Amino acid sequence: MTYQAEIRVWRGDMTGGGFATYQVEADEGEVVLDLVHRLQATQAPDLAVRWNCKAGKCGSCSAEINGRPRLLCMTRMSALPPGEPVTITPLRAFPVIRDLVTDVSFNYTKAREIPSFAAPQGLAPGEYRMSQEDVNRSQEFRKCIECYLCQDTCHVVRDHEENKSAFAGPRYLMRIAELDMHPLDTADRQKAAQEVHGLGYCNITKCCTDVCPEGIRITDNALIPLKERVADRKYDPLVWLGSKITRRR
C-alpha cells in the first residue's frame, strides 16, 4: 500500500536554520531512511544526511525522529503514529555541519583520552585462558556500533556544553568499565574514571540504555558496576589492591 507521508526535516547549518515540510511517497514496510532517500531523489537533492550500511551496523545514520534519538535506517514508518507528520532533526548534543549531519568529533576526542588495554609484562601468547564469563561480559560491550545515540541522549551533555570537557559520556565510560573488568588489564582505570572521565556526573537514569540500538545494558552492566568498583576502592583500598594482585598472577 502506497501513501503520502508528511515529513518535517530540519534544514540549515551552524549559522541557523528551520523546518522544511515535504509530502513524500511511502510504501508499506519502509524505514525513515527510505523516505529521506526518496526526498533527496525527487525534491531536495542537496539535503545532507549521513548513512552507509542501511542495516543498523555502521552507526552513521543517527538522528532524532519525533525528538527521540534513533537510527534512520532501523526506524520503521509503521512504528510511528499513523497520519501524523514525522519530524527529523540532527543530533542535538553535537554541532550541526549541515541539515542532518553533525560534527561528532567530541566522541573521537573522548575515545583517544582512554589509555588502551595494558597487558601484564612478560605474559606470552597461550599462557592465559579467559573464562567464558569474562568473554561474554566484554562481548556485550563490543556490540557497540558507535552510533553515539547514547552520547546524544545523556542529559549531562545534551543541554550542557560546559560539561563536555569533564565527561566522557556513557559510550566511553562503558569502554573504561570493559577494560577495568578485563582479567588481564593492569592499568588503574578506577581513579581516572572518577577524576578524569566524569563517572560521578552519571546519576544512572538509564536514558542511554533506552536508546541503544544494540540493546546493550550500558547502565546496569557497565556504569553501575564501575561505580561500585570505584566505591569499593574508596572505602576499602584492600579490595582494589587484591584485585590487582589477582590479575597479575
Number of chain positions touching ligand SF4 (CB under 6 A) = 26
- Asked whether 71 and 213 are in contact (CB, 8 A), the reply is yes
C-alpha to C-alpha distance for 197 and 217, rounded to whole angstroms: 20
| Cα dihedral sign, 139-120-227-201 | negative
With CB under 6 A as the contact rule, the residue among 206, 232, 240, 243 that binds ligand SF4 is 206
| Candidates 35-43, 52-60, 169-177, 191-199; binding stretch for ligand FES (CB under 6 A) | 52-60
Determine if 51 is a binding residue for ligand FES (CB under 6 A): yes
Determine if 206 is a binding residue for ligand FES (CB under 6 A): no
The CA distances from residue 36 to 53, 199, 213, in Å, are 15, 37, 20
Q: Which is nearer to ligand SF4, 77 or 212 (CB)?
A: 212
Cell matching residue 192: 581516572
- Matching residue, cell 543517527: 62
* Partner from ligand FES, ligand SF4, none contacting 196, C-beta within 5 to 8 A by type: none
Determine if 155 is a binding residue for ligand FES (CB under 6 A): no
- Asked whether 32 and 39 are in contact (CB, 8 A), the reply is no
The residue type of 242 is G
C-alpha to C-alpha distance for 159 and 164, rounded to whole angstroms: 10
What string marks each residue from 151 to 180 as x (binds ligand SF4 by CB under 6 A) or -? ---x-x-------------xx---------
Which residues sit at the interface with ligand SF4, rule CB under 6 A? 144-150, 154, 156, 170-171, 202-208, 211-214, 216, 218-219, 223
